[in-house]
Amino acid sequence: MASDFYDKLIQTRHHIHQHPEISGEEIETTAFIKAYLLHLGIRLLDLPLKTGLVAEIGSGQPIVALRADIDALPIKENTGLAFASSNNAMHACGHDFHQASLLGAAELLKAQEEQLKGTVRLLFQPAEEIFQGAHQMIDAGALDGVSAIIGYHNNPHLKPGQIGLRTGAIMAGVEQFKVTVTGVSAHAARPDLGIDTVLAITTMVTNLQAIVARTVSPFDSAVVSVAHISVGNTWNVLPAQGFFDGTIRTFDPEVRQRTIDRFTTIVESVANQFGAQVTIDWGNSPGVTFNDAELTPIVFEASKTFAEVVEPLPSTGGEDFATYQEKIPGVFAFVGSNGDPGAPDWHHDDFIVKDEALETAVNYYVHNAVRLLDYLSQK
């Protein structure tokens, strides 16, 4: 990678970092990406997207998609960087890094467009942080005709120059739940005249902790976390209604379904025990980010030509890249972005990505796009 190209890409990333926009509001970000691609002579697809965009390099089949997310978080930045956010949002998950690397890859792929054995489709996806962007892209037609898709997430626990890759589950399936319990209000001095919503909710929360400990095999993995409880507003009144919400994380579809089924049984049984009414609302969250068994070894070997490739433990974080993988074969990797002991993790207000990690990220897109086009064109 020539130094002038690298320097330009760093400045591009700093600009994006300084002007973050939260999920669904990536208007100026989209305009910046559009202008950047048009300057390179890259064609844009006319798709019905409010934010985000899709572009193409090359022609014909097969089509390999490269995806980068572009949204930021509603976090006030505390990094002290010279290019820190200029508003009350922050790229605290490194999506500025992701989109800058895909812009860099686009420039290099455009330079070799005539040699490509098919089409590279660029997906600059909005709204990943709220798990809506992949659905928007798919509904708009971004995957039409695509044979395979690759993506990545920066990983601050890996060093620049490292790539984490594994076949199968690499990030967890995410379930978001909200449980609303309705009883009968009463004076706290006469609980016998009501149905105690507080007791019902606290019993549910306690019993749910047994799911992982006693119904999930020790050879499998699952997390059940209640993160928020809201019930009552004074000391001497038993409230009529309350709720709690949280998340379930799993790496296997069967474990996922068993955990959901057990969760539902416990909640409904406790409600019945106390005579309360209960509803469970599930969020529209992604499944397991599950790497294709055929394509992942190809990406693994190709990535070894420019990076140190390691096999990481799966992350319990969620990724809506999984939504694409439910439609077509896909490969998702971790790209090392910091590597210092104690480096802040995703979504922290002092999260920092090192610029020197850009080269590996760009090469991940370019080398693997070319390699997968070669492979798929011969099938």
Residue at 166: amino acid letter: R
∠324-330-335 over CA atoms, to 5°?
Answer: 105
The answer regarding whether domain 3-171+288-377 maps to CATH 3.10.290.10 reads no
Alpha carbon distances (Å) from 46 to 50, 84, 103, 140, 169: 11, 33, 19, 10, 33
Render 217-249 in DSSP notation, one character per residue.
-TTS-EEEEEEEEEE-SSTTEE-SEEEEEEEEE
Phi-psi region of 94 (alpha: psi -120 to 50; beta: other; left: phi over 0): left
Residue ranges of the domains in the chain?
3-171+288-377, 173-282
> What CA–CA distance (Å, rounded) separates 152 from 165?
10
Q: Which three-class secondary structure state does DSSP give residue 85?
A: coil
Tokens of 275: 């005579």
Tokens of 276: 């309360």
Reading the chain (379 residues) residue by residue, the pLDDT tens digits are 568 999 999 999 999 999 999 999 999 999 999 999 999 999 999 999 999 999 999 999 999 999 999 999 999 999 999 999 989 999 999 999 999 999 999 999 999 999 999 999 999 999 999 999 999 999 999 999 999 999 999 999 999 999 999 999 999 999 999 999 999 999 999 999 999 999 999 999 999 999 999 999 999 999 999 999 999 999 999 999 999 999 999 999 899 999 999 999 999 999 999 999 999 999 989 999 999 999 999 999 999 999 999 999 999 999 999 999 999 999 999 999 999 999 999 999 999 999 999 999 999 999 999 999 999 999 8
CATH class of 173-282: alpha beta
Give the model's pLDDT for residue 128: 98
Element (H, E) at 165: none
- Nearest Cα to 325, choosing from 167, 140, 148? 148
Tokens of 313: 């433990």
Topology agreement, domain 3-171+288-377 and domain 173-282:
no
Distance of CA 119 to the CA centre of its chain: 25
- Nearest Cα to 124, choosing from 95, 146, 147, 144? 95
Q: Which three-class secondary structure state does DSSP give residue 287?
A: coil
